[in-house]
Structure 1
Amino acid sequence: MQFRTQILISKSNSPIDYHSKVLSMGSCFAENMAEKFDYFKFQNETNPFGIIFNPVSIEKLFKRVCQEQWFEEKDVFFHNERWHSFEVHSDLSNADRQELLETLNKAISETNKQLKEATHLIITFGTSWIYKVLEKDEVVANCHKVPQKQFSKELLSVEVIQKSIQNTIDLVQALNPKINFIFTISPVRHIKDGFVENQLSKSHLFTALHSVLKTEHSKLNTAYFPSYEIMMDELRDYRFYGEDMLHPNQIAIDYIWKLFSENYISENSLSTMLEVDEIQKSLRHRSFNPESEQHQKFLAKLQQKINLLEKKISHIKF
């Protein structure tokens, strides 16, 4: 007997391996998956502009990156003793305007290079709700704690999201025609918008994304990973959530990663993943007697394993 429903996932025709170069952008769930890629020592870059939730802001950043549209002084503003850009996350904000501009433009330059070399691009959409700064009537990626009266809040229409996703695909493919896209909808619920409003937001993302993915133009090199569906259906219990009851906890993240790796990572990489996992666990081991002969032998054996793996795959470093 089955006591839960399971999501059927199609295996990728272009799986990720240790030669692949992965770039991830989007919501905080993108960071959760990136931590797994980092742990298993895949070649992986994540959110060079910080966490971004809505598809229009993601598109704007890809346009900057693909066309190398540099940030200028008009693109930043001063608030609460720091300089910010409405296009990026507050993690990049800086007390010095010039340093912020240099950081942002360095991110454009480096991400452009990474995108040209990337084999896989993972994009995670979080919400259809957006804020527009009234002064410029522009969608912002982050409000940076600027007073709410300076913004209007809107729900992106399915048509706008659809166009934005297609624009993102077109921009990236013009730079790197061979790249493989993996899209997903974040399983994190944005309850601050309201329960009904969150469902409406997610439904707009689903409708728009799947409308794009089923077109002949976009079927090539695009895939959908059902992280939201796994969380809502297979893991439909609050024991799989963090303390806020909104974000998936580590058990849920581990399970979603397991399903992702079974379907999107090549079988010939699984043995290497096991080796990496064994080394990572050994590195975290804490001895009761670090000076003992037994522990020194353990360290010597561990170093031997590390040397062999780093020699086999040059980009792996512990």
Structure 2
Amino acid sequence: MKLQTNISIKKTPKNLINYSSKILLLGSCFSENIGNQLSYFKFQSNQNPFGILFHPKAIETLIIKAINEERYTEKDLIFNNERWHSFDAHSNLSSVDKNELLVNLNAALIQTKKQLEEATHIIITLGTSWVYRFIETDAIVANCHKVPQKKFLKEVLSVDEVSEILDRSIALLKMLNVDISVTLTVSPVRHLKDGFIENTRSKAHLIAGIHNVVNPKDNIHYFPSYEIVMDELREYRFYNEDMIHPNKIAISYIWEKFVAAWFTEASQITMQEIEIIQKGISHRPFNENSAQHQQFLETLALKKKAIIKKHSFISF
């Protein structure tokens, strides 16, 4: 008896991720879930230098400014609720000190360009096609920073607009780094503040827009994280208490699917070794001074040394 619909994901035939890969993740909070897994398993990865970015236009803005070596100045900032903000970045970067914010924004741009130049893989997770346009400048913002809504126009990016934004972004990436592998995915997190129907419309625009640009021959791929949650994990037991965000079980399930399709077999073996070490590090003994625990620590140290010998960039 079959009690679940399963999505078949073919293994990517080339450019698989291994421990030599350098990975940059951009996009919604779901990209951070995957990024945290990559960090746990000690891959060379970085994520969201401007914080969480929910829509494709915000990601394009970051890519353009980083590649063109643009720099933020005081005129690019806003002051609201006792803090300085950038409409291009998440509130995590906001600060009470405008100079600190400028330093952090410009340092992030420099670092982003370097990461884009060196990256073998970039993973872009789109969350929504709903955007807010700041009336004063007619610019689409990444984050409203609780500025009064009357100062914005809310609009939805069309399928064609999503495709055009992604086309431009990928073209810039390929000009900077011709061999970079791009993986596009849609966050399974539902944006219900927009409304149930509006969320479905938004996700549909993203999915259709992405598939207009996906081209495996050019190393532009699609990973069905949204479909896995919607079609395989169709129960609320796979969600957090808010009934919106996938829980740890769901994230682990998607991660396993991603690893199976996008990672080399050799890297998966190393991941198993690293997980043993990570669990050993988090182990809390009843008696730290016991001979048994001292032997455990010696064995753990040897396992760390063996991994670092193979991959010198890894530290525990």
Q: Report TM bin, short chain.
A: over 0.9
Aligned to 1:94: 95
SS of alignment partner, residue 107 of structure 2:
helix
User: Percent same amino acid among aligned pairs?
Assistant: 53
Aligned to 1:297: 295
Distance in 2 (alpha carbons) for counterparts of 1:295 and 1:305: 15
Letter of the 1:221 counterpart: N
Over the aligned positions, Cα root-mean-square deviation in angstroms equals 0.9
Distance in 2 (alpha carbons) for counterparts of 1:208 and 1:185: 11
Aligned to 1:316: 314
State whether residues 132 and 139 of structure 1, in contact with CA within 8 Å, keep that contact through their aligned partners in structure 2. yes
Q: Post-superposition shift, 1:284?
A: 0.8
Letter of the 1:192 counterpart: K
Aligned to 1:252: 250
Letter of the 1:7 counterpart: I
Aligned to 1:222: 220
Where structure 1 has 5 or more consecutive residues not aligned to the other structure, the ranges are none
Q: Post-superposition shift, 1:112?
A: 0.5
Aligned to 2:240: 242
Distance in 1 (alpha carbons) for counterparts of 2:279 and 2:184: 31
Letter of the 1:30 counterpart: S
State whether residues 115 and 176 of structure 1, in contact with CA within 8 Å, keep that contact through their aligned partners in structure 2. yes
The TM-score, its normalising length taken from structure 1, stands at: 0.97
Q: Post-superposition shift, 1:78?
A: 1.1
Aligned to 2:263: 265
State whether residues 184 and 226 of structure 1, in contact with CA within 8 Å, keep that contact through their aligned partners in structure 2. yes
Distance in 2 (alpha carbons) for counterparts of 1:61 and 1:29: 18
- 1:129-148 matches, within 5 Å, as 129-148=130-149
Distance in 1 (alpha carbons) for counterparts of 2:11 and 2:295: 42
Letter of the 1:199 counterpart: T
1:123 and 2:121 aligned: no
Distance in 1 (alpha carbons) for counterparts of 2:279 and 2:77: 43
Aligned to 1:233: 231
- 1:21-32 matches, within 5 Å, as 21-32=22-33
Q: Post-superposition shift, 1:170?
A: 0.7
Distance in 2 (alpha carbons) for counterparts of 1:73 and 1:47: 22
Q: Post-superposition shift, 1:188?
A: 0.4
Q: Post-superposition shift, 1:87?
A: 0.4
Cα distance per residue 1:77-132 (max 9 Å; x no partner): 11111110000000001111111111111101111011100000000000010011
Q: Post-superposition shift, 1:290?
A: 1.1
Distance in 1 (alpha carbons) for counterparts of 2:247 and 2:146: 27
Q: Which moved more, 1:287-296 or 1:240-249?
A: 287-296
Distance in 1 (alpha carbons) for counterparts of 2:287 and 2:122: 45
Aligned to 2:21: 20
Cα distance per residue 1:120-178 (max 9 Å; x no partner): 00000000100111111110100111111111111111111111010100111111011
Aligned to 2:44: 43
Where structure 2 has 5 or more consecutive residues not aligned to the other structure, the ranges are none
Distance in 1 (alpha carbons) for counterparts of 2:303 and 2:90: 39
Distance in 1 (alpha carbons) for counterparts of 2:56 and 2:90: 14
State whether residues 90 and 143 of structure 2, in contact with CA within 8 Å, keep that contact through their aligned partners in structure 1. yes
Distance in 2 (alpha carbons) for counterparts of 1:279 and 1:113: 31
Aligned to 2:10: 10
Distance in 1 (alpha carbons) for counterparts of 2:166 and 2:57: 8
1:33 and 2:34 aligned: yes
Aligned to 1:106: 107
Distance in 2 (alpha carbons) for counterparts of 1:260 and 1:74: 42
Distance in 2 (alpha carbons) for counterparts of 1:9 and 1:202: 20
Distance in 1 (alpha carbons) for counterparts of 2:159 and 2:273: 45
Q: Post-superposition shift, 1:232?
A: 0.2
Spell out structure 1 runs of 4+ moving beyond 2 A.
none
State whether residues 238 and 249 of structure 2, in contact with CA within 8 Å, keep that contact through their aligned partners in structure 1. yes
Distance in 2 (alpha carbons) for counterparts of 1:116 and 1:314: 21
State whether residues 213 and 219 of structure 1, in contact with CA within 8 Å, keep that contact through their aligned partners in structure 2. no
Aligned to 1:191: 192
SS of alignment partner, residue 213 of structure 1:
coil
Distance in 2 (alpha carbons) for counterparts of 1:285 and 1:99: 39
Distance in 1 (alpha carbons) for counterparts of 2:70 and 2:303: 45
Q: Post-superposition shift, 1:317?
A: 0.5
State whether residues 64 and 70 of structure 1, in contact with CA within 8 Å, keep that contact through their aligned partners in structure 2. yes
Q: Post-superposition shift, 1:219?
A: 4.3
Letter of the 2:293 counterpart: H
